[in-house]
Amino acid sequence: MNYKIAVIPGDGIGPEIMNEALKVLDKVGEKYGHSFECTKVLAGGAAIDATGKSLPQETLDVCKASDAVMLGAVGGPKWDNLPGGERPERALLGLRKELGLYANLRPAIVFDELADASPLKPSIIDGGLDILIVRELTGGIYFGERKTEPGTEEEGMVAWDVEKYSEMEVKRIAKIAFDMAAKRGGKVCSVDKANVLDSSRLWRKTVAEMHAADYPEIELANMYVDNAAMQLVRGPKQFDVIVTSNIFGDILSDEASQITGSIGMLPSASLGEGNFGMYEPIHGSAPDIAGQNIANPIATILSVGMMLRYTLGLGEEADAIEKAVNDFLKAGHRTADLVAPGEEFKSTSETGDLIAALI
């Protein structure tokens, strides 16, 4: 098969890690007989420098004409003094909105070989950890009405932001969570604050109705967000798929990523209607280590795996990438972020070469 992929290397370590991900994608194509037609386009700081805009129309056009988008990372100190609306990171919001990507999937995986990197006690994560957080990405308080205005004399200024969800928004994200759970451990935990918020009560009711009607075979639990934050460090193995709103998902997915101990290892997917998706590592452009060939490309390589699995329906090929990463670690190889100072490590390009060779 021939697949069209839009590739946005971005800024900082983005181009370095993307090179390695493309090496692995090429190897998958060669081994399994697929052709991946990759078109590199600009977004973020690189696009601001070249065109004056963080998300040029041409980039959007190429993305929309592709089967999937791969993104490295955007941003850096060079553009930090631009006003909010003109910053490189603005491109991310634009891409999500324009491409209708309302579901963010973030796996938090502790690889057996890297159990030491987790800040949690071995007894808590014994036997590995594999949680999938499904975060609603285009609704809720981050996109709700907001205002800063004068209050009473006593109050001074007043600012407010509205958390608003429709049944339609909850249904479409819940469906993704239930479908994912069906392919994994068969459990969904829906996280809300239904003891306080109306929007959470509608969320909980809508998820429960969908569960009863369409997914009775999936085990559904509900949890308040404060308890979920606690349970993630107390007993993370109780979770399979967590589904939650934009703001709660933002916070919980960062917490979950830290349990795994290594930001350079975690991929993510943003999905919308149909199979289209955007795939990227969860970390940023790491300007502090850019250009030194020491960044860990594994999160980006695993993002390629997610793209093969979720957008292109190539499960066997995705398994092969995950196995190659595991084999790389089992062979004792480590990237710079995974070793103590002074210990030997593989460079960005060596890591890509070794993982590609293991496919």
Which residues make up the interface to ligand NAD (CB under 6 A)? 13, 17, 73-76, 89, 92, 263-264, 280, 283-289, 295-296, 299, 337
- Supply 1's token pair: 């098969």
Q: Considering the complex, what minimum distance in angstroms separates the CB of residue 293 from ligand NAD? A: 11
- Which is closer to ligand NAD, CB of 309 or CB of 346? 346
Which amino acid, 272? G
Residue 186 beta carbon to ligand NAD: minimum distance, rounded to whole angstroms: 31
| Residues taking part in catalysis | 142, 193, 226, 250, 254
Residue with Cβ nearer ligand NAD (17 or 194): 17
Q: Smallest distance from the beta carbon of 53 to ligand NAD, in angstroms? A: 16
- C-beta separation of 173 from 192 below 8 A: no
* Shortest distance, position 185 Cβ to ligand NAD, whole Å: 27
Q: 81 or 123, CB closer to ligand NAD?
A: 81
Nearer residue to ligand NAD within complex by CB, 163 or 280: 280
Nearer to ligand NAD, 170 or 338 (CB): 338
Between 75 and 140, CB nearer to ligand NAD? 75
d(CA 194, CA 345): 47
CB of 338 to ligand NAD, least distance (A): 9
Strands (E), the chain: 2-10, 35-40, 68-73, 103-110, 129-136, 146-150, 157-161, 187-192, 219-224, 241-244, 267-271, 277-281
User: 358 near 328, Cβ under 8 Å?
Assistant: yes
Q: Read out DSSP for 186-238? A: SEEEEEE-TTT-HHHHHHHHHHHHHHHHH-TTSEEEEEEHHHHHHHHHH-GGG
Q: State how far the Cα of 229 lies from the Cα of 248, in Å rounded to an integer.
A: 9
In the complex, minimum distance from the CB of residue 13 to ligand NAD, in angstroms, rounded to a whole number: 6
Q: Among 84, 86, 76, 83, which Cα is nearest to 55's?
A: 86
Burial label for 145, CB within 10 Å (0-12, 13-18, 19+), is exposed
- List the strands of the sheet with 219-224, edge to edge: 35-40, 2-10, 68-73, 277-281, 267-271, 103-110, 129-136, 241-244, 187-192, 219-224
